[in-house]
């Protein structure tokens, strides 16, 4: 993933003066699953990054394979935006899966429409913790298998059994590089949120 590096932030691209409301969706998943690519594909601005200091556990920390275990480290949060109407802008937050990222997860989850869980068929088990965390935060979610070239493509029923999401959770395939595919995935998620909100879940 292209998450490393200190780049000069682009000049601020301000929102149109007519925009009055914002909405946000979290894009979550283990390191290297395509969160940054997804955000970049959907964003109308060059995605931005903020770095957070976190107290890190040595093991199971995402994006940090190249760095030795240490007590304090930084994780990057990538995000982008897409203006949907004259009044409304959607933010997409590519949220790292670190166990110690809890406070920021809670902050990001507050007021969010829901979460898109990206998964990779070659390492489905890496998604278990992420799905648990999304459920604990009470977020509605959809699961999208990122369609990596050469990755196995088990039937959806098998994937559902392996990932065991909440009943009625949408599960599909997505190509994080393809705008139409990303957009369809987000529509599926929001439709799911609308439906479950309607039944008062």
Which residues contribute to the site for another protein (CB under 8 A)? 5-6, 9, 12, 14-15, 17, 19-24, 44, 48-53, 72, 77, 79, 81-82, 84-85, 88-91, 93, 103-104, 107-108, 110-113, 179-180, 183, 186-187, 190-191, 193-194, 197-198
Closer by beta carbon to another protein, 89 or else 134: 89
The b/e string for 63-88 (b: 16+ C-beta within 10 A; e otherwise) is: bbeeeeeeeebebbbbbbbbeeeeee
CA distance 77 to 43: 14
Minimum CB–partner distance for residue 121 and another protein (Å): 25
CA distance 16 to 5: 30
Coil/strand/helix, residue 146: strand
Minimum CB–partner distance for residue 13 and another protein (Å): 8
Token pair of 192, please?
């799911």
Minimum CB–partner distance for residue 155 and another protein (Å): 28
Closer by beta carbon to another protein, 23 or else 57: 23
Residue that the structure tokens 């529509």 belong to? 187
Closer by beta carbon to another protein, 62 or else 78: 78
Give one DSSP letter per residue of 104-126, joined into a string: HHHHHHTT--EEEEEE-GGGGGG
Closer by beta carbon to another protein, 94 or else 127: 94
Q: What is the dihedral of CA 129, 131, 135, 140, to 10 degrees?
A: 160
Instruction: Report the Cα 9 to chain-centroid distance in Å.
Output: 21
Minimum CB–partner distance for residue 128 and another protein (Å): 26
Minimum CB–partner distance for residue 187 and another protein (Å): 5
Closer by beta carbon to another protein, 33 or else 89: 89
């Amino acid at each position: 993933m292209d998450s490393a590096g200190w780049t000069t932030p682009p000049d601020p691209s301000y929102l149109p003066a007519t925009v009055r409301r914002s909405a946000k969706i979290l894009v979550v998943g283990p390191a290297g699953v395509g969160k940054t690519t997804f955000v970049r594909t959907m964003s109308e601005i060059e995605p931005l990054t903020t770095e957070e200091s976190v107290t890190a556990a040595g093991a199971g920390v995402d994006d940090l394979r190249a760095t030795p275990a240490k007590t304090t480290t930084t994780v990057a949060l990538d995000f982008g935006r897409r203006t949907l109407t004259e009044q409304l802008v959607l933010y997409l937050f590519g949220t790292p899966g670190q166990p110690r990222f809890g406070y920021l997860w809670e902050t990001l989850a507050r007021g969010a429409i829901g979460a898109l869980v990206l998964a990779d068929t070659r390492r489905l088990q890496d998604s278990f913790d992420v799905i648990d965390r999304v459920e604990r935060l009470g977020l509605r979610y959809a699961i999208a298998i990122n369609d990596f070239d050469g990755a196995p493509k088990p039937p959806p029923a098998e994937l559902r059994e392996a990932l065991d999401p909440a009943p009625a959770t949408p599960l599909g395939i997505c190509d994080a590089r393809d705008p139409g595919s990303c957009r369809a995935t987000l529509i599926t998620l929001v439709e799911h949120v609308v439906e479950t909100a309607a039944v008062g879940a």
